[in-house]
Homo-oligomer: A and B are copies of this chain.
């Protein structure tokens, strides 16, 4: 007698007929005191269990309710019903844990409350819903695809620090980390807080990016990537922002910006192709959900493409590459700019692009994913490589339909003198980043990298509308439950 996960059993299909098997899972539904839909999380699909209610006591039958957990011993038979090849004729059904039907109704099933918002408050239970199960399985496969991609390409996974003494990275506001009791802060003679007594002997923060450390690692190991949590202490209560999110940052010695664009495009396409291979059921389910939601929207707000179509469209199209300067020309002369439909009108070179501009380029003008490059130095970070025009830097953003920027990256400034100059202009203390400057002192090389916010990618591939629904336990202003 073999213990199967439901995924394994369904994949075996008719080849399992006549086998005696054990399955374990949670009851999704129980009809006519006879048909149990059992799910164990291994797959979106349930296996149907047929119980012989004549041989069971009323007490036993009453314990089998939605949400209760079972062990079933039985033999696999061809299914008489529709929608499944096989089912299990139960010989013995035992309940591990009951689930009070009224509490289940109240906590998980209450139709009025059964919204995504409500489920966020029940984040510990939403793993059992079809939608969230599908998202979590896709999230897993996307993460594995990312590790697999970099491993195959000879990158080394580097864990950059989460607690950092630096606040010079400039990517956003930081959370403070301390071992002090806030009720009793030690003071020095000048009556200032004495950070030398804190755990790390100085002020420390949660990282906003592992890039600078990854650059140091790339200077020795060649090709590296980070994949870890990053933090923003910004009071952004939107459907696109999290205070804690996971970021992937590859960094490659000897790569210039063209190599960097090639890597970003190949990387995104590989991950999406992997999901098509490994998450068919779950993508199909979310595709139908997406279509349903589109139907409920007013016509002018609907997207042209379905979820799976949108993924195929990214796979098939060569990403358009154009400079910021070319993009500004297109946007200046665009209909929505001339008719003043943009919230931010494009008037001159140097303007920062908004999501509405990025989406216009991707969805209307080119009808293709777009990589913009060579942005004005003034609107970009200090570490990006200055072009010979002295005005633009070797930055790049990858723009996707429906979502805007999915990747931001650059070739890094490898020339010590230029980097120092840029730091001065950005008011960054050289002493803060002595070690970063060091990497330009000992055999500096051209190098490039980019950052991808994992949850942005998962939003895109699942078609969900709120980033809080694509991470198990979201952190946002006023919420750190669980």
Chain A positions within 8 Å of B, measured between CB atoms, are: 5, 7-8, 24-27, 40-42, 67-69, 71, 96-100, 103-104, 107-108, 123-129, 132-133, 136-137, 139-140, 143-144, 147-148, 151, 154, 156-166, 173, 175-180, 182-183, 185, 192-193, 199-202, 204, 206, 213, 216-223, 228-229, 231, 233, 235, 243-244, 246, 253-254, 414, 435-436, 438-446, 471-473, 475, 477-482
Contact = CB atoms under 8 A, between A and B. Distances in A.
A438 B129 CA distance: 16
B182 A180 contact: yes
A446 B69 CA distance: 10
A220 B176 contact: no
B219 A199 contact: no
Contacts of A156: 41, 136-137, 140
Given A156-B140, A216-B127, A219-B127, A200 B478 contact: yes
A127 B180 contact: no
Contacts of A158: 136, 140, 472
Given A96-B445, A161-B472, A200-B243, 14 more contacts: A68-B443, A96-B254, A97-B414, A98-B443, A99-B441, A124-B436, A132-B220, A136-B221, A137-B156, A160-B473, A163-B243, A200-B480, A201-B480, A216-B482
A176 B144 CA distance: 31
List 7 A-B pairs, minimum CB-CB distance, nearest first.
A127-B220, A97-B444, A41-B221, A41-B222, A69-B443, A200-B480, A124-B216
Contacts of A143: 147, 157
23 contacts: A5-B154, A5-B222, A7-B154, A26-B220, A40-B222, A41-B222, A124-B213, A124-B216, A127-B217, A127-B220, A132-B220, A144-B151, A161-B472, A161-B473, A161-B482, A163-B206, A176-B180, A178-B182, A199-B235, A200-B243, A200-B479, A201-B477, A204-B480
